[in-house]
A = this chain, B = another copy of it.
Amino acid sequence: MLDPALLRPGRFDRRVFVDLPDVKGREEILRIHVRKNEIKLSPDVDLPVIARGTPSFSGAELENLLNESALIAVRRDKNSVEMADIEEARDKVRWGRELKSRTVPVVDKRRTAYHEAGHALVTTLLTEVDPLHKVSIIPRGRAMGATLMLPKSDEFMLSRSKILQIITSLLAGRTAEKLMLGDISTGAQNDIERTTELARRMVCEWGMSDRLGPINFASESLVPGFEELGRSTNYSDRTAEIIDEEVNRIVLECQEHCSRLIKDNREMLVAIAEKLIEKETLSAEDVGEIIERESSRRGLDTPPMNIHLRQKSESETPLPSDPFKA
């Protein structure tokens, strides 16, 4: 709801809104670059699929993606760019270069495998988070491993139930370590930071705590438009206490959900982790097969799986009900 009459005089929104291209825009940009740079594409390349798989890419990043793909294809002695080359280029552009040569101690490798297997399994069993793309224990940048997801579509808003599932999947690495290895590690630091940020914003910015209501508790940044430079709170310490309690309640509920999912599917987790130690990288399909196999071994139906299948054209799914709703 836009109502300029309420804007305080003198206030100025310094945040520049950079209009990133949407899925149609990206497809068009890709076509233009292919033509302009005379990139020879293999017949298996499907530009609409690539456009769908590159949300939040700018025009420059899309051009960079095609150039990287061409270099990879050349390095692989191909005379046209194939779908696999573009996928590899995208993963590198998006998540950083793989550091295959890094020597990782056996103990750390095993811990990383269980940590990432936790993320991969729980992501797959939840219905609203972005679908699993692949999982790997090859280090990238500062990360020891990575569980990669690809959004089904451009994302403009997050529902409360989706945020709760994201938190649940963020806690899965740490929970897998604890349940399967009997101890936790510093490796979950980044997951914990993101969990906390989401839970705090639910309570303080998105009105998602019934106890506190639709009130903003973080509105005064020291420099407007640059929240990153710190904020000064204008609420009482009693309110700060309730905020802490609400954040704690949300995170603990998600943690319990996560523990339950992992305990109920312990064999799948072990299977994924051990396969990761063996192969280092698993595709969403690989994970899907493990889950199917383990399900049938236990005489159960395969659960609905939230994985990113390469060529399939997903249809929009309706909003699922919130598993945490009281």
Chain A interface (Cβ < 8 Å from any Cβ of B): 1-6, 8-12, 15, 17, 19, 22-25, 55-56, 94-95, 99, 101-108, 111, 116, 119, 130, 140-144, 146-149, 151-161, 163, 166, 169-174, 181-189, 191-201, 205-208, 212-217, 219-224, 226, 228-241, 243-244, 247-248, 251-252, 255, 316-319, 321-322, 325
Given contacts A1-B170, A215-B247, 5 further A-B contacts (CB under 8 A): A23-B103, A183-B322, A184-B207, A236-B237, A237-B240
Bound-state Cα–Cα, A280 to B7, Å:
26
On chain B, the residues within 8 Å of A217 by CB distance are 196
- Among B1, B201, B319, which residue has its beta carbon within 8 angstroms of that of A147? B1
Q: What's the least CB distance linking A3 to chain B, in Å?
A: 6
Q: Which residue of the partner chain, among B3, B198, B220, B233, contacts A149 with CB atoms under 8 Å?
A: B3
Q: Is the CB of B207 within 8 A of A183?
A: no
A202 to chain B, nearest CB (A): 9
CB-defined contacts of A215 to chain B, threshold 8 Å:
192, 195-196, 199, 247-248, 251
Distance A239 CA – B234 CA, assembled complex (angstroms): 11
How many copies the complex holds: the figure is 6
Q: A105: which of B153, B170, B321 is its contact (CB, 8 Å)?
A: B153
B216, A193: Cβ atoms under 8 Å?
yes
Chain B residues with CB under 8 Å of A157's CB are: 108, 111, 144, 185-187
Q: Which of B144, B161, B200, B247 contacts A156 (CB 8 A)?
A: B144
Which interface residue of A6, A199, A255, A317 has the most chain B CB atoms within 10 A? A6
Assembled-state Cα–Cα distance A169/B183 (Å): 20
> If the complex has contacts A103-B22, A148-B2, A186-B206, are A219 and B193 also in contact, measured as CB distance less than 8 A?
yes
Contact B101 A213 (CB under 8 A): no
Which residues of B lie under 8 Å from residue A153 when comparing CB positions?
103, 105
Chain B residue nearest to A16 in the complex (CB):
B10
Do B22 and A191 touch (CB < 8 A)? no
CB <8 Å contact, A319 and B107 = yes
